Structure 1
């Protein structure tokens, strides 16, 4: 059975956030700090925007903060704004200088830290804090920045003994400082973190695993640019021993990260600019991270597939593939939607997308466009020769950019998590079958 839906309905469906890379496509997000609160995964990023008239086109233009929450297995919900640049009590107005933030829980309260340009001109950036009873705010902002701290990129850590530490800095030096129990004042003078590689460093982020403290940071090497590195210690204050790179440079621009454990898996969050093509308009991403037996970190390679396990009612962005053969992907921007599609779908070409939760699914929807040919594409389990799950007859939709949503029944009940393979089969004489944007499991 096949059902057609009007193309104008698609913008609301396809414009949502997703858990494949990049994680969010409706706005530019950078510097993602991920935290797990009450078994829920949140991201607290900065945001980029196109510079308004009168500002340099090549500058970072960062007006404020939003937050995102993972709902289901693969859907990032935009929870809403956290703080605008002109709401900082002690900050310059219209500075567009709201760089990387962080949020941490201590004793049932949630503390949100951020850098901003101070109105009093006492430093390039000062660090402020707000407090809330919920990880989703609203936050009550302190009227003054934290005394004794000058720098960017606040990274917070609360140890097993409930003592809290603030890591910060940018340039050739990074610092750590213990905080008082009120989380708003430092308990001692900041300490420079020694024995790190020379060169520009920023984006301090601490986590603990198996008794080892991992101080991670962005670092630039000569002729390579930004990388993500780490150093280890048996104390949150150090001394630290450099351990190497977590991620190589991925382009001519910045990188900024966080690391957290969610549902038993460690995840590296970072940013890139694959939507905009401009390194000042970035998009947050995530990939799984693994460790050697000795505790050292395996280097992470950026993937399209990213993290998450889409299930019932969630978009499966098959263009963020694990494997592709005989077809291609291309950027798609139409009616407010920005993303990718699978295209140039030659006979018997296929694309594989791993980790889909089929539990409860009875049908599959597909967003397609077809300009000239006819045929079908198949949904198979795990392999191109695997169990046939569904078949989609393809018809002319009015053009390669005229989109419709069609639906097919799943042939036999299937539960659990499986890989999904789409196999394209144009009729005889056809060299391209269909443009495919996404799939979705339904009841």
Structure 2
């Protein structure tokens, strides 16, 4: 990416209220990215890091030629992490303005994927072409190539010939043969040539999947000799995540069941990828956490995924806590909780007009509690708990480990104030290693933004 391009996207970041500076680090639970809208996550392990290639939702109400209240995406970022908690934004890697064949006014850079082969990184993405003689009307699928998973990626001059559709996914089999999957009313599959830029076989409709209802977003992976085809499917009103399995990359596949149910909040889309990182499987997906009133602005999430002994996939239930261990040095956001009391605790945005600012926890009933799992205190015990809080009436908050009958860490007395304050409280005892944390209200009422230890 040129310096001119970087300046250009920084200007757009200001316009859309996001930050896209290369190398920007953020702490995350679910959703993983909270300074911009992200969707359709394709997760890959390259080296000792997980890289996520999502699409990038933006607000596009001022674009008169676009459908109002519809999806609007003009570019792609890539994010990476070595611990699944601290994520780095490596900036824009491809934009509609840089793709020679794409319609730069379409704002239709939908779900992408990326794969490594022979030291090169191939980024696959859908876009609407200016020239409909290439692959007909609608979407084509292009490729951008880089020497690093972070880019810079160079788009190829033309899209893949013979492929019309969206949501590309690539799987490289154990014998080195690469397969491309995509969707366009049906889910298709085909072999790729060694150059990863051309089809090596005719597209095949994978007809072994449920016929009724929209299917899109294929993501194929292999485990223990079985090929798993995962995809979103509208079996009811909104998309749920399903899967099928087979013994060949192009099927036949046998429908196996649901990985994730429809969103209880009514988010119309979902989109998934599945990755194994350090001997644990994870499901990456999206929801409209940061835009509850508009489900075309979404945010990527991740939760752990498990297999049964027969190779079937256990259903994944979405969590706020997500994945990864949070370092005790923080910040720790109790609003991304693992569990809470039935009453006395609620979560809402810090600022309804700026959802990127995150959430706060409201504790307004005595003995209301909230639990946050897997905080790593390391080998050196901290001396203080630090909380960013406010309380109109004053409060006492108790902080304790959640792993059994362990003594209380501290009772934090929160002064009466209408503004946010940072309260620093000495700990009663030493603590090292990994613990769940429980925060309980003993007196008064309080709002909590974050907490940490030092």
Q: TM-score, normalised by structure 1?
A: 0.90
Cα deviation, residue 63, structure 1: 1.2
Aligned match for 2:129, one of 118, 123, 127 = 118
Alignment of 1:396-407 (within 5 A): 396-397=416-417, 399=418, 402-407=419-424
Aligned pair 1:352/2:352, yes or no? no
Cα deviation, residue 379, structure 1: 1.6
Cα deviation, residue 441, structure 1: 3.2
Q: Give the Cα–Cα distance (whole angstroms) in 1 for the partners of residues 397 and 427 of structure 2.
A: 14
What is the match of residue 387 of structure 2? Answer: 366
What is the match of residue 328 of structure 1? Answer: 346
What is the match of residue 285 of structure 2? Answer: 270
Post-superposition CA distance 1:24-50 (Å, at most 9, x none) = 111111101111110201111001111
Q: Give the Cα–Cα distance (whole angstroms) in 1 for the partners of residues 352 and 392 of structure 2.
A: 16
Q: Give the Cα–Cα distance (whole angstroms) in 2 for the partners of residues 403 and 66 of structure 1.
A: 33
Change over 3 Å in CA distance of 1:138–1:180 after alignment to 2: same
Aligned pair 1:189/2:208, yes or no? no
Question: Is the contact made by 2:96 and 2:102 (CA closer than 8 Å) also made in structure 1?
Answer: yes
Change over 3 Å in CA distance of 1:176–1:314 after alignment to 2: farther
Post-superposition CA distance 1:232-271 (Å, at most 9, x none) = 1111121111111111111241111111112221111111
Q: Give the Cα–Cα distance (whole angstroms) in 1 for the partners of residues 278 and 397 of structure 2.
A: 34
Q: Give the Cα–Cα distance (whole angstroms) in 1 for the partners of residues 82 and 393 of structure 2.
A: 38
Gaps of 5+ in 1: 1-11
Give the 3-state SS of the residue equivalent to 1:28 in structure 2.
Answer: coil
Question: Is the contact made by 2:328 and 2:377 (CA closer than 8 Å) also made in structure 1?
Answer: yes
Aligned pair 1:35/2:44, yes or no? yes
Question: Is the contact made by 2:83 and 2:324 (CA closer than 8 Å) also made in structure 1?
Answer: no
Give the 3-state SS of the residue equivalent to 2:166 in structure 1.
Answer: coil
Change over 3 Å in CA distance of 1:60–1:361 after alignment to 2: farther
Cα deviation, residue 343, structure 1: 0.5
Aligned match for 2:448, one of 436, 440, 443 = 436
Deviates more, 1:176-185 or 1:387-396: 387-396
CA RMSD of aligned residues (A): 2.0
Aligned pair 1:24/2:33, yes or no? yes
What is the match of residue 3 of structure 1? Answer: none
Aligned pair 1:295/2:311, yes or no? yes
Deviates more, 1:227-236 or 1:358-367: 358-367
Post-superposition CA distance 1:156-201 (Å, at most 9, x none) = 1111222111111132x11111111111111111111121101211
Change over 3 Å in CA distance of 1:119–1:361 after alignment to 2: farther
Question: Is the contact made by 2:245 and 2:256 (CA closer than 8 Å) also made in structure 1?
Answer: yes
Question: Is the contact made by 2:401 and 2:435 (CA closer than 8 Å) also made in structure 1?
Answer: yes
Aligned match for 1:128, one of 142, 160, 165 = 142
Post-superposition CA distance 1:271-316 (Å, at most 9, x none) = 1112211111111111111111100111111111111111144422
Q: Give the Cα–Cα distance (whole angstroms) in 2 for the partners of residues 192 and 42 of structure 1.
A: 29
Structure of greater relative contact order (alpha carbons < 8 Å, 6+ residues apart): 1
Gaps of 5+ in 2: 1-18
What is the match of residue 394 of structure 1? Answer: 414
Aligned match for 1:318, one of 331, 334, 339 = 334
Q: Give the Cα–Cα distance (whole angstroms) in 2 for the partners of residues 219 and 335 of structure 1.
A: 33
Deviates more, 1:232-241 or 1:334-343: 334-343
Aligned pair 1:281/2:297, yes or no? yes
What is the match of residue 7 of structure 2? Answer: none
Cα deviation, residue 211, structure 1: 1.0
Give the 3-state SS of the residue equivalent to 2:97 in structure 1.
Answer: helix
Question: Is the contact made by 1:19 and 1:307 (CA closer than 8 Å) also made in structure 2?
Answer: no
Aligned pair 1:174/2:198, yes or no? no
Aligned pair count reads 418
Question: Is the contact made by 2:390 and 2:414 (CA closer than 8 Å) also made in structure 1?
Answer: no
Post-superposition CA distance 1:341-394 (Å, at most 9, x none) = 110332222110111111145133221112222x42122111585322233221
What is the match of residue 252 of structure 2? Answer: 239
Q: Give the Cα–Cα distance (whole angstroms) in 1 for the partners of residues 283 and 191 of structure 2.
A: 25
Alignment of 1:219-238 (within 5 A): 219-221=233-235, 223-238=236-251
Question: Is the contact made by 1:361 and 1:441 (CA closer than 8 Å) also made in structure 2?
Answer: no
Q: Give the Cα–Cα distance (whole angstroms) in 2 for the partners of residues 415 and 73 of structure 1.
A: 21
Aligned pair 1:160/2:206, yes or no? no
Post-superposition CA distance 1:65-122 (Å, at most 9, x none) = 1111125451222121111111111100121100000011111111111000001023
